[in-house]
Amino acid sequence: MSFGDRLAGVFADRGRLCVGIDPHAHLLESWGLPASASGVRAFGLAVVAATAGRAGIVKPQVAFFERYGSAGYAALEEVLAAARAAGLLVIADAKRGDIGTSVTAYAEAWLTPGSPLEADAMTIAAFQGVGSIADPMRLAEANGKGLFVLAATSNPEAAAIQQAVVASGARSGLTVARAIIEDVSSFNLAQAPRAFGSIGLVLGATLDLADYGIDTSTAPAANAAPVLAPGFGHQGAQVRDAPRLFGALAGGVIVSESRGLLGAGPAGLADAIEERAEEVRSSHV
């Protein structure tokens, strides 16, 4: 089953809320956990347990596990396995990127069935061109996995690069963000029709996408790119505004939240997720 079809199933069964697994130092401390591999392991497993049955998607931030080296990665492997065993869709927030056999090795690490770091999807950066991630796109598609390609991210200092204008080639005159979206859409459209394409986009919910030269007035009839959208909840964007923010892409929006939920602490997390998941289900139009 393709990633896009699985995502549509999760939307139908559990809704669009994606719970971030972000065990940074400050949160570990407020949760009463050590700043160590065992701390991030306990944190990650607690978020998985609180999410299971209440929302459908989790997004571990790989950096907070890599911080502790191989021991942190062993903790991450346990968290990934627990999440997948609980029926959650897992997006590894890795933001990897490279060329050739290197970027293929990253895709193999995260998107190969049976790999120790197996996830359902990963985030990826195309600073070396969307062509540089062609192999990961094909590998994701072939394995029933997904990719989310950074396009217009929510941090203000990204604007200079992501709004820059392509000066030559097939995407000349488009912004960098828009050119990435066009390349991703072309790939998705060339595949068999599914609920959503295997290759998604990262688009911040706190942005005016028109500032990034992005036209959301139309979307393809099939295989539209799913959208991993940070910026809801704590960061201020409202889920009911998704149609205004994302236009024809709103149907594929994943509502990614971390701080607002994780701040509830280990005792309050399950209730916070349950309440927020229901809000998201009832406010998405």
Residue 74 contacts by C-beta under 8 Å, 6 or more apart in sequence?
A: 37
Dig out the tokens for 202 from the structure. 């990262």
Least distance from its own copies to the Cβ atom of residue 127, Å: 4
Q: For its own copies, which is the closer residue by CB, 29 or 271?
A: 29
Q: For its own copies, which is the closer residue by CB, 103 or 272?
A: 103
Q: Which of the residues 95, 138, 234, 259 is marked catalytic? A: 95
Q: For its own copies, which is the closer residue by CB, 112 or 283?
A: 112
Backbone phi, psi, residue 40, to 5°: -70, -30
Dist. CA 150–CA 152, nearest whole Å:
6
User: Quick check: 280 and 239 in contact, CB under 8 A?
Assistant: yes
Q: For its own copies, which is the closer residue by CB, 261 or 280?
A: 261
Q: Among residues 29, 55, 57, 63, which one has the least CA distance to residue 43?
A: 29
Least distance from its own copies to the Cβ atom of residue 257, Å: 15
- Containing 47, the helix (H) or strand (E) segment is helix 37-51
Least distance from its own copies to the Cβ atom of residue 9, Å: 27
Residue 95 annotated as catalytic: yes
Q: Among residues 119, 73, 72, which one has the least CA distance to residue 93?
A: 119
Helix axes 37-51, 265-283, angle to 10 degrees: 40
Q: For its own copies, which is the closer residue by CB, 63 or 222?
A: 63
Count of other CB atoms within 10 angstroms of residue 17: 28
Q: For its own copies, which is the closer residue by CB, 152 or 195?
A: 152
Dist. CA 285–CA 280, nearest whole Å:
10
Least distance from its own copies to the Cβ atom of residue 221, Å: 27
Dist. CA 261–CA 199, nearest whole Å:
27
Residue ranges binding its own copies (CB under 8 A): 22, 24-26, 61, 63-64, 66-71, 73-74, 76-77, 93, 95-103, 105-106, 108-109, 115-117, 125-132, 150, 153, 155-169, 171, 175-176, 179
Q: Among residues 226, 230, 250, 238, which one has the least CA distance to residue 280?
A: 238
Least distance from its own copies to the Cβ atom of residue 62, Å: 8
Q: Compute CA 140 distance to the chain's CA centroid, rounded to the nearest angstrom.
A: 14
Least distance from its own copies to the Cβ atom of residue 110, Å: 8
Q: Could you give the residue numbers annotated as active site?
A: 95
